[in-house]
Every structure is written in structure tokens, then in C-alpha cells.
Amino acid sequence: MASKRALWSEDNLVSAVRAVQSGRLSTYKAAERYKIPRRTLRNHLQTGSLKKTLGRKFILSDDQEADLVSGILRFAEIGLPVTPLILRRLVYKFCQLHNIKHNFNQHARAAGKHWLKTFLQRNPEISRRKAQFKNPARPQKFKKNIVDDHFKRLNEIYDSLDLKSHPEKIYSMDEKGCRLTIHHQKTVLAKKGAKRVHLQSSEHAESVTIAGCVNALGSVIPPMIIFKGKRLKPELYDNLPPGSLVEKSTKGCMTNELFKEFLKHLARYKSAGKCLLIFNGAACHLDLSTVEVADSLDISLYCLPSNTTHELQPLRKAVYRSFEHHWDAEVLSFIEQNPDEELTKARFNTILSNVWSKCMTHNNITSGFKATGLFPLNSQAISETAYASSLLTEAHVSYRVDKENSHPRFSLC
């Protein structure tokens, strides 16, 4: 037989609290008259809450849970669904940061599975869904149904933001890892049949990350340059393209915090009003707080489907190929003129400035947007031959679901 709990109504609770607050009844008399346990009545008098609740108090407030639900749904909309484990870790981190009392496992540094279960019960608009692991082979992953869905979603976004007649508000960003050496093997002249033909160049050169950003009108945002190291020497700020943002990271690559700095950098140069930023699903871009920062800067985020950037990313399609060609030409010229010197990070700046102006041309940029179908918006810009590899391997594609104890992989699909 089911136990009978809290037979009193919320109206009774309101009447009892009002009676005590007005001095008409004592806590004891009000509890007796309205059939409410005295401890329950005292708790509601202390908190001022007039809402009937059973069981333990939730760790997050109603407003905090509403914000969390909104963030989860927003991330799913832009193609970055949150895994259960990531959600549990985010909630633990949030509670620690804001000194919210909790009973989460300190060793696991994550909210418990029971918390997740009750959270999903309280918020039925969120459900567990099976996610497909990404095939590491890009050509095999590049499928027509994924690209069709990509253009369908973009069409809705363009309409909602009125972008089809405003190319200046459509931005695309992509990082480029630039090694301090030649990017491609070069054709040289040597004796026919020679076994050892070498061109002097560093085999294990350090890399610098360049975050480029352009809009569909052909305008260029000053690049963000990320050097490897713990501090930035003064000379690393010299001879760069005007307006460049110089940052550092331990490994010389983009991090989540640096991506937020990039968003602020973009906000200083972008067109007025709401703009769209198209980017890839690298892990460094994926954090719920990223969306909050972007919203505060009037930047709407859209993440390209994973393993499709070789066909759908304008910078990668039409600009960075030109970059590598001009970069190698500049480095070869440097080697010829300075045979006994090493290409350092300080010298990198001068070469980058020369290359940047040559590859970031209006024609290259607008051609990239046209070739990827981003502007004018055109799904037919992607030729049928681009899907050939996926069609040939369709029968061999296997599907797996994300498990909660796997390493989190945020991606678009």
C-alpha cells in the first residue's frame, strides 16, 4: 500500500504562512489548523517559499536549472550535443566555482548519476539520444544527407538573421598551423638516379597557430597569432599584419579561453548588429560558456559538420592553399639569402605579413564562399563527385553509440 505523504495542499500552505506572518496564529496553531507538519511550516517561513515541494532540496535553483537546460538545447541546435559525463562535470565545476553546497563525488569531480537521472526527469524536453562516432576518413564521412541537412539548417539561420542580402554579416574562421619551415616537398634538380637528394630545412620545426577570419563580402579580420611558450617576448609583436592579436599557449595552439578572446577580437572589427560566425567543431571551441560570450557580443555561432571542412570551409577551400604556396616561396627565399641562419619566431612575423597580404585577397575570399555554397547560399555548389568516396564505402560504415564513460567528443552530426 502506497504511503500517504503531504496530503495538505499548496493553498493550505499559503494560508498557514500568511496567518503566522500576520500574527493571527502561532506556528503551532497554524500547523494544527491547516494539517501541515510544523517543521515544514517553519522551513517555508524561513525561506519565504510558498511552493509545495517534496523530498530533498535540489542542488541547483530553478533559475540555474533553466539556464542549464537552455544551454544544453542551444548547444544541440548548433551541432555540439553535450554528453552525460560532460554535463555532470560542468555541474560539479559550476557548484565549486559558486560555492554551492553539494554531495557530489570529490574524487570523480562530477555530479552523480542519480543527480543526472532526476535532472532529466525534471526536464523532459531533454532526452538521451544515440550518437554516431565519427569515421576518421574524411572522404568517407562526407555524405550528401549530412551536407543537405547542413544547408537546410543554414537556410533557416540566414532567414532568421536576414543574411541573404547581408554578406558582410557572414563570417568564417579557421585555424592554420604554420610550421617554421617549408610545408611541401619541393621539386629540385639533381643527378638522374641519385639516391640522396636533400634540401636543407628543419625536420622538427616549431609551429605557430594562425586564426584567420573573413566575411562573405571579402573583408579580412586581423589574424590572431598564437605562439608556443609561457611568455611573449617584445619582438613577437613586431612586423605583423596591422591589428593582429598576439597570444600564447603551452602547446602553441588554440584553447577554449583563447577562443573566447578571439570572439572579443572579432567583435571589435565585425559589422554592426547580429553576425554569424561559421567555424569547425574542434574541442577548443566547445564549452557552454562560449555561447554566452558570443551572445553578449552579438555573434551567433554555427559549427560545420565534422570531417566536412575540406569542402565546406571557405578559408580551407580557397585561402590556405594559397597561403602554403606563398609561404614556401618566402621561406625558400629566406633560406637562399640566409643559408646559415635559422627561421625563428621573430623572423616568422615578417614572412607572415608578406604572405598574408598575398593570400587574403578579395578574389580568394569570395571564391571560397562561393565554392562552399555559403554565399550565395547554394547547396548545388558541392559537386556530386565530392560524395564519391562515401558512396563507394556506404555498405561498410559501422555505427557505435557514445558511452557515458568514454572520453567526451563534441562534434556536429
Domains of the chain: 10-47 (1.10.10), 62-122 (no CATH), 138-184+204-396 (3.30.420.10)
Return d(Cα 213, Cα 279) in angstroms, integer: 9
pLDDT reported for residue 38: 86
pLDDT digits 0-9 by tens, 326-370: 988 888 888 778 877 778 887 889 999 999 999 999 999 999 999
Q: 282: pLDDT confidence band, cut at 50, 70 and 90?
A: confident
The pTM (predicted TM-score) of the whole model is 0.64
pLDDT value at 29 more than 60: yes
Return d(Cα 166, Cα 156) in angstroms, integer: 15
More confident site: 86 or 165: 165
Query: One-letter amino acid identity for 140?
Result: Q
SS3 category, 295: helix
Evaluate the omega torsion of the peptide bond into residue 376 and state whether it is cis, within 30 degrees of 0.
yes
pLDDT reported for residue 135: 45
Q: Environment class of residue 219 by beta-carbon count within 10 Å: exposed (0-12), middle (13-18) or buried (19+)?
A: middle
| Calculated CA dihedral for residues 66, 71, 77, 83, nearest 10 degrees | -110
DSSP secondary structure of 327-353 = HHHHHHHHHHH-TT----HHHHHHHHH
Return d(Cα 200, Cα 203) in angstroms, integer: 9
* Range with the poorest average pLDDT among 72-86, 238-252, 268-282: 72-86
Q: Residues 114-120: contacts with CB within 8 Å, 24+ apart?
A: 115/59, 115/88, 115/91, 116/84, 116/87, 116/88, 119/65
pLDDT digits 0-9 by tens, 83-137: 888 889 889 988 888 888 888 988 889 999 999 998 998 888 888 775 544 444 5
Q: How many degrees, rounded to 5, is the angle at CA 295 between CA 294 and CA 296?
A: 90
Asked whether the beta carbons of 262 and 221 are under 8 A apart, the reply is no
Spatial neighbors of 356 by CB under 8 A, at least 6 apart, are 223, 241, 323
Q: Residues 398-402: contacts with CB within 8 Å, 24+ apart?
A: 399/132, 399/133, 400/132, 400/133, 401/130, 401/131, 401/132, 401/133, 402/83, 402/130, 402/131, 402/133
Helices marked H in 78-131: 84-97, 113-122
Q: What is the mean pLDDT of residues 156-182?
A: 91
Q: What is the mean pLDDT of residues 258-275?
A: 96
pLDDT value at 64 more than 70: yes
pLDDT reported for residue 77: 64
